Every structure is written in structure tokens, then in C-alpha cells.
Structure 1
Amino acid sequence: MEHNGTPQPSLPVLDLTSVSNPNKKPILLEQLRSALFDIGFLYIKNHGIPQQTIGNLTNLLPALFDLPEEERAAMSKLNSPHFLGYSGFAEETTLGKQDLREQFDMATELPVVLQDPSTSTNGDVTQAYHSRDFTKLYWRLRGPNQWPSESSLPGFRKAFTDYHDAVQELSYRFVHLIEEAFSIPIGTFDHFFGLQPSTPTTNDATRTKSRTFLPPQHRLKLLKYPPAPPDTAASGNQGVGAHKDSSGWLTFLYQPSPEPGLEVLSSTSTWIPATPIAGTFVVNFGNAFEAATAGAVKATTHRVVAPGPASPTRYSIPFFQGLPLDMTVSEVQSYIPEHVRQMRGSVTGVESEAQTFLDPRWDELGESQLRKWIRSHRDVGVKWYGEEVVEYYTS
């Protein structure tokens, strides 16, 4: 499932081999600053993830989606209070229209931590993070995947886990580059991911250094965009409608199919194709990033155009870098100095979608994430959280 492609000049391609070259690194960081403050999207190449690790997963995508209908149904997202599992073709909508795709939502494999208020302990996790209130409803988002059986899809779980771990490590390395582009100490954001800082950070009275966080759960989508059937004409060619990412801090998208589909909205309101380029990831920034930087870094609107009736099937894998569910937006902001918010030439403020993160009701990131998932999958929300909770988060 390899491909050849041509980079679009409007979206920069950052070569990460420049990180170790003292003559080229300043140019790389300048490219990154431009992408952060002007574009919001970029490609990265020579990222260090072995092609075999990528191929071991992407080569299994056709077989995953070709599993018998009853096996896919057995992994339905309706079975999961964590909103993890299978969604069939056109079961989701964006902007009131069906998204012409099917998908498996998956994540870092983690145990349940939600604690019944009537109990005083929830095992090792609660004891290790005794200051956490694990009775808050958003902790129900955190939990294990639904997996296809090994007999039905041999090697899938290992291939997915290896890919997840490799992109997770890449995402942490890339965050360090962003810190350098911001001219703040490397390791400033390590705390977000349950990591020990790579280098000591300066003290700041606004930061709560005693706070420890559970390593966050990163989420991935395994996506299939089949040729659009005639009976979906009402949705036009909407693979996914225009949106900004609200599921994570950064997004790392791998496009194993050569067919175009992803498009990015430019500052002049024109759609720029993010054409697949062999061996690269597309990186963009989520709503939480925009809110944390007071609009200096924009979460850029993008969409996916569905393949036409005569086109081949298209696959893609976005990785959404997670943040701690009980971290607040104000805590995130406290790690970003004022000079970063001034690095963008003109800031018009945080836009409406990112503004959600600044609403006091959703100040804890877990609240905003629970709201996002319930709004996206109301049927799952009703089943696992009840009508009253769904009404609260959708009103």
C-alpha cells in the first residue's frame, strides 16, 4: 500500500534529519514556526519510524474492514462506554450530512479507572494517584479497546500496538521541537504526558509542579473511504465535513493510499489538497492547542473529499495525541509564556470551536472530551451515560 506523490508547495515539508544538523536545524525551526503561526498544517519526512512498522498495520487494513459483518458488529462502538470500536458506513454526520466512511476507533490500551463513589479504592491506579477523584464521569472515557480475534486477523493487535508506540514516541519528539520553536526549555510539556522533563524547567508561581498526571490515552482512527454509492447522493462527496480536530493536542496522520482526499482551508478561504506523499505524516494542531495559546496557533479547518463511484478505496490513520483528562485549560496555558502568544503577527482571538475549551463548564479537558464524544455519538452516550447526561452535554 505504498504510493508516490508530489508535495503541495503551500504545505511545508519538514525533514527531521535536520534536527541533528546544527547548520540546518535553525532553518527547520523557522519552517516549524511558520507552520505553527501561519498555516497550521505540515508534512514531516525522515521521522524515524521504520516503514515495516507502518506497513505491518496498513497492509492489514483491507482485511480488517473485510471481516464478516457479524464480527465487525461485535466490535460496535455501542458496546463501549469509552467510545472505542467500529462504526459502519455513513453512521456519523458532520455539518448535518453523512460522512461517507467507516471506521474503527482505537486508543492506547489502558485499564478502566472510573471508581464507584461507594467504594474507597480502585486498585493500583487509584493508590498511585491518590489525589485524583476517579468518580468523575469523564474517567469512563478511559478504558480498553475492542479487538478482532487473533484467529480472524492474525497479527493485528501486535501490528497496531507497535504502530501506536512508534507514533507516540514520534509525537513526544515533535513536541520537543515545538518547544524549541517557541524558545522555551525542552521538556516543558513532558509533564502533560506523565513523563519526567527532559531538562529542568524554570520555576513559575502559576504552575502546580506537585501535580502528577496519568499518562494520557491517545486515540487513533482506522478509516476506510470506499467509492461513494449512488444512494448517498444527498451527502455529496463528503468523506468528512469541514471541521477542526478536538480530540487531542496534535494530530499525526498517515495516508497509506495514494488517492487524494484531505484538503486544508487556507487563510484566503481556498481549499489546499494535502496530497499523500510517500513516507510522510501530516501534522496539524487541535482546538486545545489554539485555546492554550490564546489563538496564536490556529487549529486549521480541514475536510476529506470522498472517492467518486469509479475511484479506488482510500484508507488513512490519524493519531490524536491525548492530554490528561483532569488537566485544566488554565494549567495548560500556564506552561506557555506570554512571548509565545505574541509570536503570531496578528491574533484575532480564539475561534468558536476552540472557545469551547475556555467555557468554565468544560475547563477540565475530560469534560470537553466527554462532551465531544457524546455529541458525535449520541446513541453511545444514551446507552452508557443516560438521557439526562446527554442532554446536559448537548444543550
Structure 2
Amino acid sequence: MGPSVPAHLPILDLALADDPAQRPALLNQLRDALFDVGFLYIKNHGVSNSTITHLTSRLPALFDLPSDIKADLSKLNSPHFLGYSGFAEETTLGQKDLREQFDFATELPVVYKPAAEGRRNSASSNSNGGSTRDFSQLYWRLRGPNQWPPEALLPGFRQALETYHDALQALSYGFVHLVEEAFGIPVGTFDQFFRSDNRKMSSDDPRLVSDKPAPASTKLTYLPPQHRIKLLKYPPSSNRGQGVGAHKDSSGWLTFLLQIGQEAGLEVLAADGETWIPAPPIDGTFVVNFGNAFEAATEGAVKATVHRVTAPFPSSPARYSIPFFQGLPLDMTVSEIRSYMPLSVRTLRRQRENDDANNNVDKSSSSSTTTTTTKTADTVSSFLDARWDALGESQLRKWIRSHEDVGRRWYGDDVVKYYVG
């Protein structure tokens, strides 16, 4: 028999972390969700309802901005792929996604420098340890400031989005600590990915803070990453087509998705490689899933699960959602990330497969299922291709493949051909 298919995704109550007697059960739940599904809901997450509603209440007005204002905010104006994309301007699996969106990110200055000037820049000028860094690498051009709508047309929007960004950033850092604890990794191991010093990161919510000390570490040699936020609108579709096609997330370490309202659409591919599990909106929750880098770093112990979104029915209201993608340093490589992961974690998948074989699991069924899942994954992501071992390279490739017009404008036809061909 093949892998069992759950009827729904697990829901983890982070309030259990407050109780020493219940915390182990929460960590076991988290570990199972990481290993078996790669998708889960979290509730009692500590992000205030006011922080959420101050942003979500402004989404209709944002998407109703005049066409000329949206054009002024177009991604075509940004080498960082930040700004507005109109309906069906983004592609997944070669098909148009039936949605419109605004992309924002951690507000950061430009660091990219053309050729000779870029090689003269050193990391010491950016507070990251004094080692030299070549800022002429094209992927550094992804890093830069947002395009903001005029305050007069959308009062309070920027403040609402930056407050939400900061809350999700804190939640993501604290949740990473829970992931570390669930896998028996020293808490704070991955802090080096996100900060330029050795201070322990946590959410202000104490339920996300482990009492285990962070490990001693040397000062970072990475620039702190730029996290990204998408504000998405899925209008009703006459054929309920592809809101966004089947894919794995390649934009970061973890994704925290806020689904707004009651309109369903998100579906998650089960381990059998065939069944789609619905992931409808649940009040007071975020949906959490794991990116390709996490799967690669754990050698498959943590699943980066394929998922898709169908567009709403013609008679349904528009569907809004906000994914937050926890970023990683652009100059890290997959190999370097894996070096932070204990061998005990990286061998978990192989241990499970060996246990299944020893328990007389039907090998032919398991093999067939694995092939189906792998084929699906291969069609939606080449993240593990050795050519894209540098995260910056894989990110630049992802953005150019999704928005070729932006790529051609800012990076040129030869670069687009290299990454798309």
C-alpha cells in the first residue's frame, strides 16, 4: 500500500508551547507535520488581529487604485521585481496565473554595483564581518527598495504593511526555533541566516522562545536577507482556471500564508502524488509551508510540498491572500545551508524508507508513488539543479522565468535566454 492521505492538514496550537507539560506534544506534532506533509496551520500565533486587519482592510482600495497609478507601480519599473503585476501577467508551468498582485519586501537599499565597482566593495561596509563580497554579481540586483502607492490615495497603507512585515518576521524567527527544537537541533542554529550578530532572535510572544540556549557562533559573513510579501487578488473566473499553477515555494526558507475571508482555493498535493488536499481558510490561523531550500538542506526530511490555487467561481467574491516568504541570504549556497543541518536530521528520510522496507511495505506501490511525486516536483522546480546552487542564482532565475518582460528590460536578452532556455 502507498502513503496514507490525510483528509485535512494538521492544525498546531502554539499556545501549547506555554505549558511545559504540553510543549513536547506540540513539538511531536510539528515534527510529524514537517516530515509527512510539509504543510500545516498554526493558531494562537501571537500576531495581533489589529495588525492583520489594518492591512487586510486596505486591500480592496489598493487593487482599486486607478490604472495609471498601477502602471506607475509596475514591476517593469523595478530591477528588484517589486511592484504591481496585472491580471494574468505572471506565469507558472507556462500558463498564465489568473490573479493580480503587488510584491513588497523588507525595505533595503541597493547594494548592486556594476563590475569593477562591485568588486571593490567589501562586506565590512555593510556590517557583515569584513570579508570581501562581489556586488557585481547580477543576483545582488534583486535587493532594493519597494515601490509604494501614494500616501494621499491610500492613507496608512505603508505603515500597515511595514507593521505586518515586522510581526511576521518576528513570528517566522520564533517558529524557526520551534522547528529546531522539534528536530533536536540546537536552538539558534539558523539565526546566522538572518542577523548580522549573535543575539538570539525571537518573537515578542514568549510562547515561541525556547529555554534552550543558542549555540555559540562566529559573526555572520552574510548580508541579512530580504523577506518578501505578496498581496494577491484572485478575481472570479468563468472556468475556475489556474489561480496559480502547481509549484513548490522557492522564494525562501518558510512561507506564512494569511487567507482572507472564506473563499477556498488552496490545494496541497498529498504524498501519493495524485490526491489534492483542500486547505480552506480557517479564522485565526496562518498556513505554514516549507521552501525548496529547507527540503534541500534536510535532504528531504522536511518536505517542500507542491501546491496550487484555483480561481474563484464566477458567482463568488474575489479571493485575497497574503503570503510572507522568509528570505535567506542571496550569497548562501544550498551546500552551505546543508552544512548547518545535523547528520541526524539529514538521514531521517532514508531511515524512514528503510523502516518501511523492513515493515514489508509494498515496494512496488511505494516506488510508483515516489516516481509520480518526483515527476510533479521536477516539472515545477529545478531548485536542486547544481547550476543554481547559489540561492541568488536560483532566485534570479525564478523571477526572470515568472516575469520575462521585467528580466529583458533590466537584465537583457542574453541573461533571460540563459535562465529561461
1:372 to 386, 393, 398: 398
Map residues 1-395 of structure 1 onto 2, 5 A cutoff: 10-119=8-117, 126-129=125-128, 130=130, 131-194=132-195, 196=198, 198=200, 199-201=213-215, 209=218, 211-228=220-237, 230=238, 233=239, 237-268=241-272, 269-344=274-349, 345-346=352-353, 352=378, 356-395=382-421
Instruction: Report what 1:206 is aligned to.
Output: none
Q: CA deviation at 1:125?
A: 7.3
Q: Is the 8 A contact 2:55 2:157 kept in 1?
A: yes
Q: CA deviation at 1:354?
A: 8.9
Q: Is the 8 A contact 1:374 1:390 kept in 2?
A: yes
Quick one: distance in 2 between partners of 1:211 and 1:364? 17
Quick one: distance in 1 between partners of 2:69 and 2:316? 27
Q: Is the 8 A contact 1:191 1:197 kept in 2?
A: no
Quick one: distance in 2 between partners of 1:241 and 1:12? 23
Q: CA deviation at 1:362?
A: 1.5
Unaligned runs of 5+ in 1: 1-7, 204-208
Q: CA deviation at 1:394?
A: 1.4
Summarize the Cα distance change of 1:360–1:98 in structure 2 as closer, same or farther, 3 Å threshold. Answer: closer
Quick one: distance in 1 between partners of 2:29 and 2:219? 35
CA deviation profile, 1:134-192 (whole Å, cap 9, x unmatched): 11110000000000000010000000000000000000000000000110110000001
Q: Is the 8 A contact 2:110 2:145 kept in 1?
A: yes
**One-letter amino acid of the structure 2 residue matched with residue 237 of structure 1:** G
Quick one: distance in 2 between partners of 1:239 and 1:357? 22
Instruction: Report what 1:3 is aligned to.
Output: none
Unaligned runs of 5+ in 2: 1-5, 201-212, 355-369
Moved more, 340-349 or 212-221: 340-349
Summarize the Cα distance change of 1:126–1:135 in structure 2 as closer, same or farther, 3 Å threshold. Answer: farther
Q: CA deviation at 1:352?
A: 3.1
State the secondary structure of the residue aligned to 1:278.
Answer: coil
Summarize the Cα distance change of 1:61–1:13 in structure 2 as closer, same or farther, 3 Å threshold. Answer: same
Quick one: distance in 1 between partners of 2:199 and 2:336? 16
Q: Is the 8 A contact 1:250 1:283 kept in 2?
A: yes
Instruction: Report what 1:5 is aligned to.
Output: none
**One-letter amino acid of the structure 2 residue matched with residue 285 of structure 1:** F
Percent sequence identity is: 65
Moved more, 113-122 or 319-328: 113-122
Quick one: distance in 1 between partners of 2:64 and 2:126? 43
Q: Is the 8 A contact 1:261 1:307 kept in 2?
A: yes
State the secondary structure of the residue aligned to 2:192.
Answer: helix
- TM-score, normalisation: structure 2: 0.85
CA deviation profile, 1:364-393 (whole Å, cap 9, x unmatched): 110110011111111100000001111111
RMSD of aligned alpha carbons:
2.1
Summarize the Cα distance change of 1:265–1:124 in structure 2 as closer, same or farther, 3 Å threshold. Answer: closer
Q: Is the 8 A contact 1:287 1:354 kept in 2?
A: no
State the secondary structure of the residue aligned to 1:82.
Answer: coil
- The number of equivalent residue pairs is 378
Q: CA deviation at 1:267?
A: 1.4
Q: CA deviation at 1:118?
A: 3.4
Quick one: distance in 1 between partners of 2:288 and 2:126? 36
Q: CA deviation at 1:298?
A: 1.4
Q: Is the 8 A contact 1:248 1:321 kept in 2?
A: yes
Q: CA deviation at 1:116?
A: 2.6
Quick one: distance in 2 between partners of 1:202 and 1:36? 26
- TM-score, normalisation: structure 1: 0.91
